[in-house]
Chain A
Amino acid sequence: MSAFYALLKRDLRLAYRQGSAVTLTLAFFIIAVTLFPLGVGPELAVLARIGPGVLWVGALLSCLLTLDRLYQADYEDGTLEQLMKGPLPLELMVLAKVAAHWISSVLPLILIAPVLAITFNIVADGIWVLVLSLLIGSPVLSLIGSIGAALTVAMRRGGVLLSLMILPLYIPVLIFGVAAVEAAISLLAISPHLMLLGGLTLGALVLCPFASAAALRLAVE
């Protein structure tokens, strides 16, 4: 387990010291979300209606920005091969890297989301549920994304292919995430949606490391 934490800490420290990736992702998220009020017009009723969906889609696309670098830097300088020779099972290594990715590039998006939600005129209850649904559902984004990142790690222009492969698989998370917020806004029960999101996260937590590890073995062999 100490190897797991060591890898997690290393990846977090790398993300923290490089810094630019986190700020760029945040900036992209804010700008992409800001474009919508300019595009569809500033009526508050319309914004409140589309707000949850826009924030979820924004988070999803911003997450995609950093995914293609998930394994790539380690693959290019040979660290990945060394890690695979180490004592840590590859599946756990994937989990450590996914956890580091989630903490370093998805968690900041969730923290800034309430502020953006206020500008979208979403009611207070909706904002809390939005944060909650992002917290529960967004690990799926990193987990499924890790499969795509592993499959495209050896490619020169993997980014486009990554989005083509991964975005269709993100759709269920998006649907239930937005449904939870909309249920909260219209004062309906939110727990079914959150439970489904939780189910997706747990399922992905079990299955994705295996698929991702298989893809990494393929890239390195």
Chain B
Amino acid sequence: MAIDLHRYANPARFLRIMGAIFPWVAISTAVLLIAGLYLGLFVSPEDYQQGDTVRIMFIHVPAAWMALSIYTMMAISSAVGLIWKHPVADLSAKAAAPIGACFTFLALVTGALWGQPMWGTYWVWDARLTSVLILFFLYLGYMAIWESFDDPSKAAKAAAILVLVGVINIPIIKFSVDWWNTLHQPASVATMDGPKIHSSILIPLLVMAAAYMSLFMSLFIVRVKSEILARRLRLLQMNKLQE
């Protein structure tokens, strides 16, 4: 039993901390989402060229940011899991994957809906769109590999290797609009010279980004918690069978 205690000492502390944080992120998700949507859909001015369709941006851009950040976070925690054999690190990468896949899907779909009125087509095979599509496939492959191993610790390592190989795609997505001349516009918020867009649009955008971030945090906490509990349940069942 000593080994078990040692193994679950950290997850227990993790669960306690997450339990304390959870109500706050849940509340902030609700407040920020309502505020961000209100600011974005009603307060911010409409674009002189794009009209009301510009408001798709408040859904689309933060989702794309989240898609990239979640994959990066998964890569970091997978590396931590591989190097220090930290069980919570593997579980947190696993828990983040479906959320990241959903944000990627959201970015792709809203991008297509925005592309139809603006570019005249739902989809173009330019560098940014293609590389985000690849990111979506990488998320799917990652989730598939978790499902195809019986032994969770082996699955964790295999998935970690895959996610670290795929991390090459992240800088390609980030800089695709600068390296290649594409239809998708270049970066206009996080540039070296500061944001290039007016504060009336920038503020709702940042509020939405914060809302997505806390939405991710609250979903993530629920998922990691259930992963840890499921693993503990499995262990208890196995112990019971052995008796």
Asked if A and B bind, the verdict is yes
- Assuming the A-B contacts A169-B166, A211-B165, are A151 and B145 also in contact, with contact meaning beta carbons closer than 8 angstroms in the complex? yes
Contact of A165 among B141, B154, B169 (CB under 8 A): B141
B144 touches A147 (CB 8 A): no
What residues on B are CB-neighbors of A155 within 8 Å? 148-149
- Are A218 and B154 CB-contacts (below 8 A) given A151-B161, A169-B166, A211-B164? yes
Residues from chain A with a CB closer than 8 A to the CB of B149 are 155
Chain B at the A interface: SS class: helix
Surface stretch bound by A, among B52-60, B61-69, B132-140, B183-191: B132-140
Question: A149 CA to B54 CA in the complex, in Å?
Answer: 45
Summarize A's interface: helix, strand, loop or mixed.
helix
How extensive is the interface on chain A, given as a class? 10 to 19
A residues with a Cβ closer than 8 A to B are 144, 147, 151-152, 155, 158, 161, 164-165, 167-169, 171-172, 207, 211, 214-215, 218
The answer to whether A164 and B134 touch across the interface, beta carbons within 8 angstroms, is no
Cβ-defined partner of B145 (8 Å) among A144, A161, A172 = A161
Cross-chain contact A161 with B138 (CB below 8 angstroms): no
Residues of B within 8 A of A (CB): 130, 134, 137-138, 140-141, 144-145, 148-149, 154, 157-158, 161-162, 164-166, 169, 172
Contact indicator A151/B158 (Cβ below 8 Å) = yes
In the complex, the answer to whether B138 meets A147 with C-beta atoms within 8 Å is no
> Can you list 15 A-B pairs with a CB-CB distance of less than 8 A?
A147-B161, A147-B165, A151-B158, A152-B148, A155-B149, A158-B148, A164-B137, A165-B144, A169-B165, A207-B165, A214-B157, A214-B161, A215-B158, A215-B161, A218-B158
**B-chain residues with CB within 8 Å of residue A151 when the two chains form the complex:** 145, 158, 161-162
Most-contacted residue by chain A among B138, B144, B145 (CB, 10 A): B145
In the complex, residue of chain B having the shortest beta-carbon distance to the beta carbon of A147: B165
CA distance A144 to B130 in the complex (A): 19
Q: Are A161 and B158 in contact, with the CB atoms below 8 A?
A: no
Do residues B134 and A168 form an inter-chain contact, with CB atoms below 8 A?
yes
